[in-house]
């Protein structure tokens, strides 16, 4: 996916909503709320509900701003084994599970290789290094070493980086909020699209009418979590990787993402070409 695939993605009043918030720089955000070990809570909202929600956040809330921009294009390429081990472990809620992806920042051109695993008490652990987009180039020698070490450190030494291949690309536009009161942050993703890769697939799917909100906190819920709860929104089981794989590969089970796909995203199953 290119920047054009997600350019202009937004919703009612979102640009104006972001402008009402004071800015925070990337360096400040990393210093105050990097949260590489964290608790993630995810919510699916109608896109029309985002602007009123942002208008109600605490006055201390700040929005990430880089070179005058407050909404940024992302493209993530996910890697998995031939038997979809990463997808299945996540969908079955296994304690030892992993996610390997490259994440490209479309507005700057930078790209990172990331490994996400689960630490004690369900905490998400993310490690990353600079690396080319896996949708465009294979893993480098350094990338292989990094993935192998990260997986072994999480007790997943039975999975090797040379077993992984690109299986899915997701693209979206993201705005990041900082909530100083809880030293937490939140991301709001809109214009989400998916493309299946491998096996000559080029099936695509888009969800333009929803936003995916993710809060990233320590053990205590953030002010935004409580605000979402007060508006009737509850965290759910949603994963761009899981949803995209289940939607674009009809032979795969929907697992724990079934409810979100059916009730919130209304994602139909995509038939195989020629079926």
Q: What is the pLDDT of residues 197-254, one digit of tens each?
A: 976 555 899 999 999 999 988 778 999 999 999 999 999 888 999 999 998 988 888 8
Tell whether the model's pLDDT for residue 271 goes beyond 60.
no
pLDDT band at 122 (very low <50, low <70, confident <90, very high): low
> What is the separation, in whole angstroms, between the first and last Cα of the chain?
26
Q: What is the per-residue pLDDT for 258? A: 86
In the numeric block, which tokens belong to residue 53?
């929600």
| Selection from 180, 157, 160 nearest residue 62 by Cα | 180
Q: Can you tell me the mean pLDDT for 142-164?
A: 95
Q: What is the per-residue pLDDT for 199? A: 62
CA atoms of 184 and 165, how far apart (whole Å)? 33
Contact present, 194 and 170 (Cβ < 8 Å): yes
| Selection from 243, 89, 116 nearest residue 170 by Cα | 243
DSSP-derived 3-state class of residue 186: strand
Q: Can you tell me the mean pLDDT for 150-162?
A: 94
pLDDT band at 14 (very low <50, low <70, confident <90, very high): confident
CA atoms of 224 and 55, how far apart (whole Å)? 11
Cα–chain center distance at 175: 12
Domains and CATH numbers, the chain: 3-264 (2.40.320.10)
Contact present, 210 and 265 (Cβ < 8 Å): yes
pTM of the predicted model as reported, rounded to 2 decimal places:
0.86
Q: Can you tell me the mean pLDDT for 63-74?
A: 94
């Amino acid at each position: 996916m290119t920047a054009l695939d997600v350019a202009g993605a937004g919703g009612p009043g979102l640009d104006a909503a972001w402008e009402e918030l004071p800015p925070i720089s990337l360096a400040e955000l990393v210093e105050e709320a990097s949260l590489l070990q964290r608790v993630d809570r995810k919510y699916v909202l109608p896109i029309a509900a985002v602007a009123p929600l942002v208008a109600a956040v605490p006055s201390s809330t700040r929005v990430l701003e880089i070179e005058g921009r407050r909404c940024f294009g992302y493209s993530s390429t996910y890697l998995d084994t031939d038997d979809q081990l990463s997808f299945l472990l996540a969908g079955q809620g296994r304690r030892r599970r992993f996610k390997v992806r490259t994440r490209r920042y479309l507005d700057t051109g930078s790209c990172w290789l990331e490994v996400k695993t689960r630490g004690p008490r369900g905490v998400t652990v993310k490690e990353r290094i600079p690396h080319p987009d896996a949708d465009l180039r294979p893993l480098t020698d350094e990338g292989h070493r990094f993935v192998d070490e990260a997986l072994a450190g999480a007790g997943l030494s039975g999975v090797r980086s040379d077993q992984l291949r690109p299986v899915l690309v997701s693209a979206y536009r993201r705005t990041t909020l900082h909530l100083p009161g809880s030293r937490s942050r939140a991301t709001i993703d809109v214009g989400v699209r998916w493309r299946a890769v491998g096996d000559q697939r080029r099936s695509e799917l888009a969800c333009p009418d929803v936003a995916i909100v993710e809060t990233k906190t320590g053990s205590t819920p953030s002010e935004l979590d409580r605000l979402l709860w007060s508006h009737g929104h509850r965290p759910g089981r949603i994963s761009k990787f899981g949803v995209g794989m289940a939607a674009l590969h009809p032979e795969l089970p929907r697992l724990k993402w079934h409810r979100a796909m059916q009730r919130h995203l209304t994602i139909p199953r995509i038939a195989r070409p020629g079926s």
